[in-house]
Structures are given as C-alpha cells and as structure tokens.
Amino acid sequence: MNSPSLKKAKEIKLPSHVLDLTFGPSKKLYAACLDGGIYEVSTSFKLLGDNFKEIARHDNYASGIHWSASQKTLISASYDGDLKWIDPKEKKESKIVKAHSFWSWQSQLSPDGKLIATSTGQYLCGGYKYEPAPEREPSVKVFDVATGELRHSFPHTPPVQSVAFSNDGKLLAAGNLMGEVILWDLTQNGKEIARIKTPDFTGWGIIKGHYYTGGIFDLHFAPDDQSLYLVGMGSTTDPAAGNGKQLWQRFTWKDGPKKEGAAADGEIGQGLMETLAFHPRGKFFLMAGRLFKGNWNAALFDHESGSRLHQKNIGFRISTSTFTNDGKRLFLGGGANQGRPNEKKKWGRIVVYDVSS
C-alpha cells in the first residue's frame, strides 16, 4: 500500500483541554473536557457563535465520553469518580453511578456497547522505596451499560492509568504506573490469563522530586487480538520535565508475554505519548501526545513492521484520538496554551485531518 498521510481539514476551539472524544448518533461529535464539561460539538464552520454546546457537567475533570449505539446512551467518566448516563437527544443526565472514590483515569466501552470499564488508583507511598501502596478499592471495574450494575471488579497495583477491551469484547487489559499490564477473560468470569511487565515506561525521579513517574497511558489490542500495544514515555530522572522518549511497545500475551516490537530510537523524539488509535483497516496506527523535543507529536506507524510512515507536529498537546469508521478522517483532541484565568481563552482544541492511504 501507499504510505498514509494526513492533511489538515479544520480546527475547532473548546473551553478547555479535550481529554476524550466519541462519535454519537447521526455521526455527532462529543467531547469530554478538563473543565468538567461534556460538549456536543459541531464540525461545520460557523462564522458567528460557538461550535459547541454543553450537555452535562462533572465536578472534576471529565476524562471519558462514550456512545453506546446498542443502548442508545452516552456515558461520561470523570476524576470525580462518577459515571454519568446522558440522553443525547434530551441533553440530560439519566443516571449516575459512583464508580470510584478516586479518579477515573481512563474508561472504555466494549465493542458491542454493553459494558463500560473504568480504571482508578492513587499513587501513595507504600514503603521506604516509594513503591505504590496497595489499592484501597478495586482498581478496575466493569459496569453493565443497560442497568448500571457492577459486573466485574479487578485488583491491580495503583494507579491504573489505562484500560482496553479486545476487539471481540472477550478480554480486558489494564496498565499502570509501574509498567504492569494484567489481562482478564470476561467469558471465564474475569479469570486472569496473562501479565506483562516492562520497566521502560517508568522513571525514578532524582531531580526536583524522588518518586516514580510515567506509566502506561494508553493501550490497544492489535486487530487480531493476539498482541497488545502499550503507549507512554520512556524512563526519565526528572519527573517535572516530561523528557522521556516517545514510546510504544508491542507484546504478544499467549504462552508467556513476549515483546515483539517497539518504536525505533531513530524515528522518535522526546515527550509523553498519551493516545494510540488503529486505523479501521488495521494496517497502521497513530500515536500522539506532547512534544518535548523532536519533530513530531503525532505519527502513523505500520502495524507489521513498526516503521514510522508519516509524522506531524500538531502544535499543541494531544490527549485523545479517533478515526471515523470509514477511515477517511482522524480527529485529535487536546489543548493549546491555557493563558491566564482572566483571559478566559478557549484553549481546548479538536483538529481534524483527512487521511489518505
């Protein structure tokens, strides 16, 4: 195939940093933002007025937004620990479930839209080596979208920053600060089936602070579900700098975890990578995040070889990404310079790219 490329189509401003995006009914776009707002976003050009309308609000950062077509509802997640069911037509909240006593770091919807998984956990010092203290509640939970009932709860070492369903919906994986990933089989009552451990995403601070930093910020099953991609930042000794290398790694998980690939040092720079998304055809994937040093903060990689195919410096931090179902467009969400509070800038950003492949 020809190497894919990205061409900028439009940019949309929102009140604050965009942490998650989803397409809803009639291909409408919804965003979860740092100010706690859940917004319906118009992708049409408007000469006057805003391109967004608030439809719900959390008491802390809104970290997730998902559309269940089978259950005809939006579900949002937040650092307030709540999951909210939202009627997109009425633009009203229909149900609230207290999922966690701490943050919902990340949430994901199962492919059939019937389950929602969310991860949590606070990094508290557990000993003189500053290892994380044991969890105070199950770090990973799975809820029934139709009823809001808890279906599964799983232990992990907190904080658990990422969670993902397999493409067939049978498996669940979650990754944490310490580079540990656990896989569970939901068809066997949540039986643990594999553990992956990599030290490459975790740093130990010796500058400005002594504590662990980094972790697995996103993870995604490969199209055939036989391997798992992990995303984050390489080890650094300065927790405040965010200067570890841009990093993805690929692991097979059956018959003992094995690393099968990673971002090549000659094709990456430095900065925290926060999001990974596969193109619907499954031939390549996007990794994006924050640029500290280098030429790009969003790049396309070949699934088979791992080679970088295309790169872009978006110009601002990216926290979320999603392709349209036909693969013709890529939506990236993040934020530009916040400015001072009295400036009341619209610093959230959604940038849309046409994808040629």
pLDDT tens, residue by residue, 254-281: 999 999 999 999 999 999 999 999 999 9
- 147 and 129 Cβ atoms separated by less than 8 Å: no
pLDDT of residue 206: 86
Measured distance CA(10)–CA(28) in Å, rounded:
16
pLDDT of residue 48: 59
Q: In the structure encoding, which two tokens stand for residue 39, read together?
A: 């917004």
- 74 and 88 Cβ atoms separated by less than 8 Å: yes
Closest alpha carbon to 333 in 2, 1, 3, 22:
22
Read off the pLDDT of residues 54-105 as tens digits, 9 standing for 90 and up: 999 999 999 999 999 999 999 999 999 999 999 999 999 999 999 999 999 9
Q: Percent of the chain scored above 90 by pLDDT?
A: 89
Q: Tokens 């919906």 — which residue?
A: 169
pTM over the 0.85 mark: yes
- 141 and 83 Cβ atoms separated by less than 8 Å: no
Domains contained in the chain, CATH given:
5-356 (2.130.10.10)
Task: Write down the mean pLDDT value for the chain.
Answer: 96
Query: If you compute the radius of gyration of the chain from its CA atoms, what whole number of angstroms results?
Result: 19
pLDDT of residue 47: 56
